[in-house]
Amino acid sequence: MTDRDKMAKLSKLIRYFILISTTKAGSGHPSSSLSAVELMSVLFFGGFFRFRVNDIKYVNNDRIIFSKGHASPLMYSLWAAAGALSEEELLTLRKFGSRLEGHPTPGFPYSEASTGSLGQGLSIGLGMALNAKYLDKLPYNTYVLLGDSEMSEGSQWEAIQIAAHYKLNNLIGILDVNRLGQRGKTMYGWDTMAYRDRISSFGWETITIDGHNTEEIVNAYKLALTVKDRPTMIIAKTIKGKGVSLLEDKDGWHGKAIPEEHLDAALNELGSIDKSIRGIIAEPEEIVIDEEKIKPYDKILMAKDKISTRKAYGNALVNIFSKYPGIVVLDAEVSNSTFSEIFQKYFPQRFFEMYITEQDMVGAAIGLSLRGKIPFVSTFAAFLTRAFDQIRMSQYSNTNIKFIGSHAGVSIGEDGSSQMGLEDIAMFRTLNNSVVLYPSDGISTEKLVEEAAAHFGNVYIRTTRMDTPIIYDEKDIFKIGGSKTIKKSKDDVVTVCAAGITLHEALKAYEELKKENITIRVIDIYSIKPIDQETIIKAQEETRAILTVEDHYPEGGIGEAIKSIASVRCPVHNLAVKKIPRSGKPDELLDYEEISSMAIIHKVKELIA
């Protein structure tokens, strides 16, 4: 049997697997899967994709991302054709409890990442390619299967720019141009030249082919693997539903399985199927990674009186790097404001400037995390909202990313509302198993940055623009899920819970109220999620009311986090940003939004009147 004959047999088998699994499921995307069968069959079984089927975690395995995640039936069928799962398991597609979900997730161990929200896979692949070329220095390649519809997403073009900038010749995109989207023709249909012109203008090598011609596909992969200084995009004209006349280039079949009564006719069109044939995936090169030796460096000393928590974050990254050498830092062209530039100065080889591409930056962080790194991703808190879909999807890939949002709240001052992160706490609290931290001084920042690095999972750290006084001692312990009761007595009338800039306002209010013989309890809620329930419950038992103060909108912030504690039955009052913010001095804005020390004093007196 010639290689071409074997490839034809394998393609038939894969089409068979796609059809029987989706019809059995009663749903799925067979037509989107069928269009890319030859493209993926040649990649997997033509000697190009190199992967140890029985050693999924091997460091030098090539990576494959299905950015068009709705083609998951194709992905599962490829691994079945490789002998990695049985036909019986294929028939559990989309069933509750099955590893084979409707879109890829790491529940299926050969799936690199959770995909399906379109426009994200290329960024994830970019992160994996960055890891191979610049960090682990491994020769593995990263392949990303893309759909033509998702090329309208801006995140794709962010990734295309950054991949060219970093000359990622180990990143190979495979664009399945099958003409039809969910509701009809895509923007460019079968105009592969339109894709070629646009992508090549960004500095990519582009190869246009017939996506069902095995010889052209083989030659495209051969050429892609010879490109030296740029990423490659293989642009393939294909037919949606290829091989089944009921589906071929037919609108209205996206996301629909062939009904059982039509399945036999569809299978007959494929011809005889050799169910015993299996494809062989080539083995990657045997490589051992040398442990990176970190040169000795001087740690940065903590300021004696005042420091912004954003600068303390930059210092902390340097100070903990020797303990957590997996750290890699990504920043969105604001490193002189987030102070990640401090880390860049010490460890430039572990820092990636992602420019103003927040969606791509988070996608790349997903890829880096999935290759074992600890990405610290920093920008203004307000601009992380642009990347919330990528952040949301990261939780389904079981990632270990540390997000840092600086310039939070109205306290940033004159820059005005467009720069003020006022939704960020709420955004990150919604994520499953996320951690949300909000340090108030330099020492708590350094301690919490290290806690974040030590914790496996997604963590958000909110930092403040302005300098704030040092209020803690180096011996103080900070842990995820903890808090600090800074002021406490048996005569406390109200408990004030705050974090970040408003904690300092609460301490000012404490001193003023004390002059009038009014004592309040002041708690630093530095861990907003998980929150220190025990301390809060004790405070509500010992004081008349709880007052939360936050430089954030009331929805989803500290106040709602405390109100969500079921055992808290005393009144919980919330001072938060409730007016449309504007430019002004920080103190003016804190007064304007009624979250300043004066507002706290007024509210406490009102509560005890």
Where do we find the tokens 């013989």? 517
- What's the CA gap between 409 and 581, in Å, rounded? 9
pLDDT confidence tier of residue 1, bands split at 50, 70 and 90: low
Cis peptide before 586 (omega within 30 of 0): no
Residue 344, amino acid: Q
- Catalytic residue chosen out of the listed positions 112, 358, 451, 550: 358
| pLDDT of 86 | 97
H or E stretch including 145?
strand 142-147
Which whole-number Å values give the CA distances from 342 to 305, 308, 309, 312, 442, in the listed order? 20, 14, 13, 10, 15
The answer on pLDDT for 570 being more than 90 is no
Reported as a single tens digit per residue, the pLDDT across 354-375 is 999 999 999 999 999 999 999 9
Q: Is 29 left (phi over 0), alpha (psi -120 to 50) or beta?
A: beta
Q: Where are the alpha helices (DSSP H) in 424-520?
A: 424-429, 442-454, 501-514
- What's the CA gap between 538 and 485, in Å, rounded? 11
- What's the CA gap between 417 and 422, in Å, rounded? 9
Reported as a single tens digit per residue, the pLDDT across 492-530 is 999 999 999 999 999 999 999 999 999 999 999 999 999
Reported as a single tens digit per residue, the pLDDT across 146-204 is 999 999 999 999 999 999 999 999 999 999 999 999 999 999 999 999 999 999 999 99
pLDDT mean over 110-136: 98
- What's the CA gap between 309 and 130, in Å, rounded? 29
Which whole-number Å values give the CA distances from 432 to 365, 384, 393, 396, in the listed order? 18, 17, 11, 9
State both tokens at 525: 């809620």
pLDDT mean over 321-346: 97
The answer on pLDDT for 477 being more than 70 is yes
As a whole number of Å, the CA-based R_g of the chain is 28
End-to-end CA separation in angstroms for the chain: 92
Where do we find the tokens 């490789």? 82
pLDDT mean over 68-81: 98
The answer on pLDDT for 566 being more than 90 is no
Reported as a single tens digit per residue, the pLDDT across 259-315 is 999 999 999 999 999 999 999 999 999 998 787 788 889 999 999 899 999 999 999
Q: What is the mean pLDDT of the chain?
A: 97
Percent of the chain with pLDDT over 90: 96
Contact 451, 474 (CB under 8 A): no
3-state secondary structure of 527: strand
Which whole-number Å values give the CA distances from 13 to 32, 37, 203, 600, in the listed order? 17, 10, 37, 70
DSSP 8-state code for residue 498: E
DSSP 8-state code for residue 283: P
The answer on pLDDT for 568 being more than 90 is no
Where do we find the tokens 């408003």? 502
| pLDDT of 289 | 79
Percent of the chain with pLDDT over 70: 100
- What's the CA gap between 120 and 47, in Å, rounded? 27
Sign of CA dihedral 269, 271, 277, 281: negative
Residue 7, amino acid: M
| Cα angle: 439, vertex 443, 444; to 5 degrees | 30
pLDDT confidence tier of residue 143, bands split at 50, 70 and 90: very high
Q: Is 241 left (phi over 0), alpha (psi -120 to 50) or beta?
A: left
pLDDT confidence tier of residue 46, bands split at 50, 70 and 90: very high
Contact 375, 369 (CB under 8 A): yes
Reported as a single tens digit per residue, the pLDDT across 199-224 is 999 999 999 999 999 999 999 999 99
The answer on pLDDT for 2 being more than 80 is no
Domains of the chain by start residue, with CATH: 3-270 (3.40.50.970), 306-469 (3.40.50.970), 484-608 (3.40.50.920)
pLDDT mean over 20-28: 98
Q: Active site includes 588?
A: no
Q: What residues contact 398, with CB distance under 8 A and at least 6 apart?
A: 106
The string of DSSP letters for 336-376 reads HHH-THHHHHH-GGGEEE--S-HHHHHHHHHHHHHTT-EEE
pLDDT mean over 572-584: 96
Q: E-strand spans in 205-317? A: 205-210, 232-237, 306-307
User: How are strands ordered across the β-sheet holding 63-66?
Assistant: 63-66, 142-147, 171-177, 232-237, 205-210
Which whole-number Å values give the CA distances from 145 to 32, 71, 85, in the listed order? 12, 9, 21
